[in-house]
Structures are given as structure tokens and as C-alpha cells.
Structure 1
Amino acid sequence: MKICFLVPSIFDMRGDVRATVNLATALSARHEVEILSVRRTREQPFFPLKSKVGVRWLIDSRPGRRYLLPRGEMRAEVELWRALRGLRCDVLITTRPSLAVQAARHAPRDAVRVAREWSRPATPAPIKRHYPRLSAVVASTETTRDEWLRTLGEQPPVHLIPDALPVGPLPRSRLDNRIVSAGGRWVPAKAFDRLIRAFAIVADKRPDWRLRLYGGGSEDKRLRNLAGQLGLHNHVFFMGTTPDLPGEFAKASIVAVTSRAETPGMTVIEALGCGVPVMGFDSPRGPGEFVTSGRDGVLVPEGEGEIEAYASALLALIDDERRRQALAAGALETASAYAAPAVAARWEQLLGDLRA
């Protein structure tokens, strides 16, 4: 099959981009795969791509580029409309509702058109109008599938396939470093401020442990100021962005997740794949979508006293090496469901059925 992924920008550092790269790479072993990026924002994609996966873009938005026509949304829509009308592929997989609507309207009808969804529909009206023209919707979690079923009913069919881990073996943590790691975009929804406040309590009682934060974003300055105000200069380290988050997680003994909504959950999945216990809040659409408390991680209730409760649970796990080892074994078992070959096989089965 010739498979095309349509993304807003393959050059961004986002969980959905990482998930798309992993799936495209896995499918490229047996199929011709291309990623069509609406925009190009840097020289190279943030996450490395295998040579078998083709990449092209519609609008070059790198700094210093000039065009005769405006660079606004109107130009993007025109370029996207032209690209979809001229698309030649067997399968088109979109990665954003706005792109799925355009694919439903303009992509060739003889192509299988699938919307890959990670979160609930924000604007139901155009979705209810145009999505019935699609071949299917594929959700990444059970919660997301249920939300799309309530929105769409039975047309088009809504399926559940999880995201894939990177192709190939992941590094495995030996759980012998006194490091807690966390990664992702530094934005309000990820609530890294909760983690820093909780770690201030941990550092006071276990000063030999360190917190490493990987990522970047709009909250950078605020989070650094918070760490300074709490006197955590020697305990919390802002590591910046990395395309190899699993490699960094493998150096940790615990991966902390304090986001209010973990969609997509690539950070959690990658931590499990490295055999690292995950500690998170038991929030709606949070890490509980991927983690079973007591089996492969620990979930702490949200609400009054949540910071103290999170710190207490983190200290308990720090002090119990045998429990960390048991949770790590459970993490590796859970991660097997996200292995690239297994996830790719489920996609191949679905796409084959849709083509038939």
C-alpha cells in the first residue's frame, strides 16, 4: 500500500508528531509511506525519520522566507486543497480534526481516508457534517474512542489502536540512579509546577535525589523562577529538549507525570518501554489511561492536599527499591502492547479491511 500521513508540521516537538513518526516508520517496513507536512518550520524534523519514509511540505515557514502571496491561513488552505486534490495514495491518515475535515471534502474518494484522533472533538458541527465521508476514525485510548462514538454514532466506524513505541529495542533502566525524570512541553496543561512543588518536599528529606526536566515551552521562565524560589538550584535541572527521550528516561529510576490531561501519552508509554515506574495523578484523561496503579506505576488522587500526597507517594517509592523493581517488570509487560510491530499489524489489518 501507498500510505500518506497528513500533519500540521512534522518539524514540531509534540507527542502526536512522535506518535506519527513511530507509526510511519513501522509501516514503512512493508509499505510505501510518505508524510505530508502542511508547514516546514525548521531545517530537519525534530524527531529523526528513517530514510524509507518520504517527507514533503506545502509551506516553508522557516525564518527569513518570503513569499509574494500572504503567509496566513488562506494561503495554507489553498495549498492544502491543491495537494489533496492531486494526492495519489491508497490510504490517507490525518492527524488533526481540521485536516480530517479537509480530507473528507477534497481527498480522492477512491483512497481510504482515516482520521487519527488523540482527544475529544472541540467543534462538533463541521465534524458531524463531514466525517461521515471518511472511511474510519481511529482513537488512541478507550476514553477518546467513547467520546468520538458519542459524537459520530456509527458513521464512520470508530476503532481503537494505541500509539506505537519507536521501532527497535529501547534502552532499559537499571533503576540504580537517584534520578526522577519528566518530559514534555512546558505548558500549563502539563502542570510541571505541581511536580516542582512536590519535589521540594522530597529534596528536603532525600537531598541526594535529583529531578531532571526535559522539554521546553511557554512555561520555561515561570518554572525556573519557581525552582529558584523553592531553593532547588541543586536539585531540579532543566535539561532542554531532546529527540531521544527514552534514552534519557533509561537513566532514571522513576518517571514523574503531573499533567492534567495526558493526550497523547507518548511520555508515559516511552517510560514504560524503558522499564521505569511511572508516578502520576489519577486525573481524567491522565496517565491512568496507560498506567495501572500497583502494577506498573503509582497514581495519586487529585484534590485537596494533592502536592503533599504526591510527594509522600514519591518518597515511599524512592525508599522501596524492591517495589520499584516489581513495578519496572510490570512496566515492561504493559509496554509490549505498544511495540511497533504489534501496533503496525493492527493498522495493516484495519486498512486492509477498509480497502476491501
Structure 2
Amino acid sequence: MKISLVLPSAYGMRGDVRSLLNLATELADRHDVEVISIRRHKEKPFFPVGQKVVMRSLVDARPGVRHLLPQGQVRTEVALWRLLRTLRSDVLITARPAISVQAARYAPREMLKIAREWTRPAVPGPVRRFYPRLNAVVTSTEQSKEEWGRILDGGPAVHALPDALPGGPSPRSRMDNRIVAGGGRWVPVKSYDRLVRAFATVADKRPDWRLRLYGGGPEESRLRALVNELNLHNHVYFMGTTNDLAGEFAKASIVATTSRSEALGMTVLEAMGCGVPVVAFDGARGPDEFVATGYNGVLVPGGDGELERYAAALLALIDDDRRRRSLAAGALETAARHSAAEVAEQWEKLITDLR
């Protein structure tokens, strides 16, 4: 079976990219799989991808690459239109509504077309109009499934399939390093400023613990300024980007996330795959489906006094080694349900049922 996955860019540092590349790598062991990146701006993908996966792109935006036509939105749309009209695959999986709408309009009718969604569409009109031509919509969480069911209201069936962790063994934390870690894109929705402010309380009471932040993004300068303002330069460390976030999380004893509306929980899942408990805010759309207080981490209620409660949750875990290790065991059990092999098998069953 030939399976094509189309996404805006397979070369970026995003959780949805990581999830799709993990899925493609696992499916490629049994199927003919290609990942089509609409835009390519780097020589290699940020995240690893299996050797059996065929990689190709529509618009090569790497520095130094010359083109007959100038780059732009029109050129990209024409390239996508040509791809969809000429694509000959059994299954087409598209990421993001902008691409899925075009797939619904132009991909061959006999091709199985599935939209993989993580967030609500910014403009629901085209989605409601064209998504009924798709065979299915797949979300990563039950909450997103309910949201998309309301948006489509009688359109294609909506299914919830989890994101896939990388195949193979994951590094395991020894739970003896005095390190709290956080990772991902430094953008406003991730609210890393809340984590830094909460850790100021931790650093004051447990000065031998450190916070390591992995990633990069537009919020970096603001976060660095906040660290200086709070005099945390000996307690909070900016570690830069890494394509082995799991390996870095395995050096920590707690992973912290303070996102306000985390539609994708890859950071949470990767932490649990390393056997590290997670502290997150209750109500964040991804973590609250994966984190269960007392089993694999701690969910902190948001609202007034949330930073004090978050800091208290971190301190409680810091001071209770036995509890941390118990939560770590639950984290490993949770991660096992998101293994690439398990998730790929669910996708194969869905495809078989749809066909």
C-alpha cells in the first residue's frame, strides 16, 4: 500500500512534525511511504526519519537555491495543486486545514483522504464546505475529536488516534539529578514565563535544583530578560535546540510544562517515555488528557494563585523521592500506549475499515 503524508514543512521543530515523522517511519516497515514537504528550508529534517521513508518537497527555499520563478504564495498553491492532481497513492494523510481543504478539492476521488488535525481551524468556512469530501478526520485527543465533531456536524467521521513516540528503546531517567526540564518552541502559547516565575520560588527554597529549558523561538529574548530580572542566572539555563529531547529529558527528575492551550502533547509524551513525571496546568488541552495526578504526574489548577500552586507542586515532588519514582513508573506505562508500533497498528486498522 502506498501512503503519502503531506505537511507544510517536514524540516521544522514542531511536535506535529515529530509525530508524523515517527508514524511515517513505523509505517514504512510494511508500506511504501513518502513524506511530502510543501516547503523545504533546510538540508535535513530537524527530527530523525527512517531510511525507508521517501522524502520530497514542492518548494525548495534553502539558501542559495535558485528558481526560475520567484517564491511566493501563488507559486506554492500552484505546486500543491499540481501535486494533488497527479498524485497516485492509495492513502493521503494531510496535516493542517489549509492543505486538507485543497486535498478534498483536488485529490483523485478514488484515493483515501484523511485529515490529521491538532488545532481548531482559524477559518471554519472552507472546512465545513470541503471536508465532507474527505474520508475521515483524525485528531490526537478526545477533546479535539469532540471539537471537530461540532465543527463538522454531520461531515466525515472524526476519530481520535494518539501521537506516536519514536520507535525503539527510549533513554531512562535515573531520577537522581536535581534538574527540572522544559522543552519545545518558545512562543507565547507555551507560557514559559509562568515556569520561570514559578521556579523563582523553587530556587529560593531549594537552591541546589536547576531548571533547564530546551528549544528556541521568538520568546527567547523576553525569557532571558525575565531570568535576569529575577536574578535566576545561576538557576535557569537556556540549553538551545536539540533533536534528541528525550535524551535530555532523561537527565532530569521532573519535566514541567506551563502551556495555556497545548493542543499537542508530544513534549509530555516524550518525558513520560523517559520515565519522568510531568507537572502541568489542568485545563491545557493536551496535558490534561495524558497527565493524571498521583499516577504519572501532577495537574495544577489554573486561575488566581496558580504560580504559587505550581511552585508548591514542584517543591512537593522535589522533596519526595519515593513519590517521584512512583509517578515515573506510571509515566512509563502511559508512554507504552503511545509507542510507534501501537499507534501505527491503529492507523492501519482505521485505513482498512475506511477502505
Match of 1:310 in 2: 310
Q: Does 1:57 align with 2:57?
A: yes
Query: For 2:18, what is the secondary structure of its paired residue?
Result: helix
Match of 2:354 in 1: 354
Q: Does 1:31 align with 2:31?
A: yes
Match of 1:222 in 2: 222
Match of 2:81 in 1: 81
- Partner amino acid for 1:70? P
How big is the alpha-carbon RMSD for the aligned residues of Structure 1 and Structure 2?
0.9
Q: Is the 8 A contact 1:213 1:240 kept in 2?
A: yes
Cα deviation, 1:50-94, whole Å, max 9, x if unaligned, reads 110010000011123333323111110000000111101100000
Q: Which moves more between the two structures, 164-173 or 147-156? A: 147-156
Partner Cα separation in structure 2 for residue 286 and residue 28 of structure 1: 27
Match of 1:206 in 2: 206
TM-score by length of 1: 0.98
Q: Which moves more between the two structures, 63-72 or 308-317? A: 63-72
Match of 2:292 in 1: 292
Partner Cα separation in structure 2 for residue 205 and residue 292 of structure 1: 26
Partner Cα separation in structure 1 for residue 75 and residue 146 of structure 2: 35
Partner Cα separation in structure 1 for residue 180 and residue 328 of structure 2: 14
Match of 1:340 in 2: 340
Query: For 1:338, what is the secondary structure of its paired residue?
Result: coil
TM-score by length of 2: 0.98
Unpaired segments ≥5 residues, structure 2: none
Which runs of structure 1 show a deviation greater than 6 angstroms over 4 or more consecutive aligned residues?
none
Shift of residue 320 of structure 1? 0.3
Partner Cα separation in structure 1 for residue 168 and residue 104 of structure 2: 34
Aligned runs of 1:247-326 on 2, under 5 Å?
Answer: 247-326=247-326
- Partner amino acid for 1:15? G
Unpaired segments ≥5 residues, structure 1: none
Q: Does 1:195 align with 2:220?
A: no
Partner Cα separation in structure 2 for residue 244 and residue 147 of structure 1: 32
Partner Cα separation in structure 2 for residue 231 and residue 338 of structure 1: 39
Shift of residue 122 of structure 1? 2.2
Match of 1:169 in 2: 169
- Partner amino acid for 1:293? T
Shift of residue 286 of structure 1? 4.4
What fraction of aligned residue pairs are identical, expressed as a percent?
65
Shift of residue 284 of structure 1? 4.0
Partner Cα separation in structure 1 for residue 351 and residue 153 of structure 2: 21
Q: Is the 8 A contact 1:259 1:286 kept in 2?
A: no
- Partner amino acid for 2:246? P
Q: Is the 8 A contact 2:128 2:155 kept in 1?
A: no
Cα deviation, 1:17-53, whole Å, max 9, x if unaligned, reads 0001111011111111100000001111000111100
Partner Cα separation in structure 2 for residue 185 and residue 94 of structure 1: 22
Partner Cα separation in structure 1 for residue 96 and residue 69 of structure 2: 25
